[in-house]
Amino acid sequence: SSLGLVAGPPSSRDLRVDMFLRSLLVAALATEAAGFGFSATMPSTGMRLRGQRSAVTTLHASATKPKLDTTKSQAIMAEARELMPGGVSSPVRAFKSVGGEPVVFDKVEGAYCFDVDGNKYIDYVGTWGPAICGHNLKEVNDALTETLKKGTSFGAPSLNENVLAKMVIDAVPSVEMVRFTNSGTEACMGMLRLCRAYTKRDKIIKFEGCYHGHADGFLVSAGSGVLTLGLPDSPGVPKGAAETTLTAQYNDLASVEELLKENKDEIAAIVLEPVVGNAGFIVPTKEFLQGLRDLCDKHGAVLVFDEVMTGFRISYGGAQEYFGVTPDITTMGKVIGGGLPVGAYGGKREIMEHVAPAGTMYQAGTLSGNPLAMTAGIKTLEILKRPGQYEKLQASTEKLISGILAAGKEAGHAVCGGNISGMFGFFFCEGPVNRYADAKAADTEKFAKWHRGMLEEGVYLAPSQFEAGFMSLAHTDEDIDATIEAAKRVFAKI
């Protein structure tokens, strides 16, 4: 009675099967009694007999996989929707674009996340980028523990602000001075005001599909959750705020030149994600980035790279180091906080000295530069600076995305994508995807099915076609191989 026949061909009832089962029963009971598992395959049937550390052993076909049990997650989300809008603290977490219920996390460790129902997943979201070294890293936690003994927030200058500031200045080509904030959105808000204060101009140019946080002036043709949820430009944004934001096409210099000509001497800044991660993963051409640099120099505008996502992610010096194009101002976040809330904007000294109290452009924050975030950032950057780290990220991510794309094409799907170091993405379309309009043509319904299938296979991916994925130093070759094999199974079903 400790054996259950779940699936098998008709021949499983013949004498050979009976003899096979009888011969293994003694071994099964013995290994279970000793607290060990076992696994055996019956010749000619493909059936496997597996024992676990439990009183029940199941005989099943090798293709059978138990359905993902998320009972506790569903109950928690049902309650959450009565307490918080949509049940979440940030919209994309609600799984609106992929369907089904979100899984509720209980803990994270290394390359893995665990939900409240005890399910384990290989994680390629990495808390949306910061977990580049892996989750819950002991080195970072040990440093945080020591800092925690001194207090969680000072509201006053601390030495670690200097330490992290010097590390950022040394690493990022454009940064000569830096101001710390509490989030990427806050950094972009400060950056926008600074650009206007410095140039004495009001208008900015951004690009369709690029996301720079939820400040009013940036919620025009935005990416990330706005694109994921299919929302129009957000209600509540005053007409005046939107009027000063002009939109161009990514990877299209002509569209930028036209706006500059139509608004001569009125453009304060050109702002972009140097690698788009909030409309899916979209790579610029070097010519496009250099062209923007030249246009800003010609028209007296400030060039801003929003490196909240790419900073310390695609190279230690960010996208500007990777592509060899230096902006005037850079915004940062995610990785530089090592998993704690943080943001920063920095740039040329002559521009940054307009920020109060050195200058008159006001921006402040109660928890800015708090000792815990500074400590986590310092330790994370120390780890990333060790030899071979970015080479490992590149090799791991290239193996993953190449395997996924090959599996998709082999199964007959139109897929395209790529990676730079530990940042990647792909689309359900033939491609190439060079701009927002190309990304919008991807098959989001198919992505939703694929996402759900991968979740049931134990792989946690961003719940949107329009979000980049992230590799960590903690991911192993075994994790990547398992992900590719899971992808093959899911591609075959959808």
Active site residues: 211, 306, 334
Residue 314 DSSP symbol? T
28: its two tokens: 């099964």
Burial class (CB in 10 A: 0-12, 13-18, 19+), 95: buried
* Residue 142 backbone class (left: φ over 0; alpha: ψ -120 to 50; beta: rest): alpha
φ and ψ of 204, to 5 deg: -130, 155
Q: Among 77, 82, 79, which Cα is nearest to 93's?
A: 77
Q: Is the separation of the CB atoms in 226 and 216 below 8 Å?
A: no
One-letter amino acid for residue 464 of the chain: S
Q: At what angle do helices 286-299 and 253-262 cross, to 10 degrees?
A: 10
Q: Report residue 232 as tokens.
A: 């129009």
By the 8 A CB rule, do 336 and 374 touch? no
Q: Which amino acid is at 2?
A: S
- Residue 60, H or E segment: strand 57-61
For residue 43, how many C-alpha atoms fall within 13 Å in the half-sphere facing its CB?
A: 3
> How much is the CA Rg of the chain, to the nearest whole Å?
26
In this structure, how many other beta carbons lie within 10 angstroms of the beta carbon of residue 14?
A: 10
SS3 (DSSP) at 136: coil
Strand partners, 355: 361
Residue 205's nearest CA partner among 285, 276, 262, 283 is 262
| Max intra-chain CA distance, the chain | 89
End-to-end C-alpha distance for the chain, whole angstroms: 37
Which of 470, 479, 474 minimizes the C-alpha distance to 127?
470
* Angstrom distance (rounded) from CA 333 to CA 380: 13
Side-chain half-sphere CA neighbours of 429 within 13 A: 18
311 touches 346 (CB < 8 A) = no
Angle, CA of 322, 328 and 329, to the nearest 5°:
85
C-alpha to C-alpha distance for 167 and 164, rounded to whole angstroms: 5
